[in-house]
Amino acid sequence: MKRVCVYCASNDGVRPEYREAALSLGQLLAKRGIAVVYGGGRAGCMGALADGALAAGGEVIGVMPHALVQREVAHQGLTELRIVDSMHERKAMLAELADAFIALPGGLGTLEEFFETWTWAQLGVHQKPVALLNVSEFWQPLVDVFGHVEREGFLRGTPQDWLVIDADPTNMLARLEHFVPPRTARWLRIGDS
């Protein structure tokens, strides 16, 4: 893995562990020689992620639409800030640049980016690993929903087949490096009625 895309919030959340996890993950990636690819923000967990990686001598590539740059929310100290026209272009570029994806605790934007990336993996658009860093069990309610979705027949394989879910970032990176996407049958074959 040369570059990891990290989805995270532009605020800190209510627990200090969330910001600390973002800062630590940025530092860990930089120390491993893995570039951070993210949304380009300077505030909240986004800023902590970038600051952690930069302080450890890492490469940080931000991707942000013009409209957000104009609101002065872009981090000004990045290795590179790529400016795009829309949120759709942002997500496509993040996906193109990254070799793997990690979602830190976050809100609707983080969830939306995570779900699209995971859906792309299941559809075979990419075969890159997708992970949830389960800081203070933040993602556990969602993981429980995934189990329900599987039991009800709407997920081929198990969530553990498709996702790396871990509370320890060092262990998570090792699992991402050895991730093998599951082989599953297609939902519908041509000619099925």
pTM of the predicted model over 0.85: yes
Structure tokens at 161: 């087949």
Sheet holding 80-84, edge to edge: 80-84, 60-65, 35-38, 3-7, 100-103, 130-133, 163-166
Q: What percent of the chain is predicted at pLDDT more than 90?
A: 79
CATH class of domain segment(s) 3-177: alpha beta
Structure tokens at 91: 């997500």
Q: Could you give the CA distance from residue 58 to residue 55 in angstroms, rounded to a whole number?
A: 7
Which helix (DSSP H) or strand (DSSP E) does residue 83 occupy?
A: strand 80-84
Which pLDDT score is estimated for 193?
46
Report the pLDDT value the prediction gives residue 185, as an integer from 0 to 100: 54
Taking the domains of the chain in order of start, what are their residue ranges?
3-177
Whether residue 66 contacts residue 82, with contact meaning beta carbons closer than 8 Å, is answered with no
* Span 34-83, pLDDT tens digits: 999 999 999 999 999 999 999 999 999 999 999 998 787 999 999 999 99
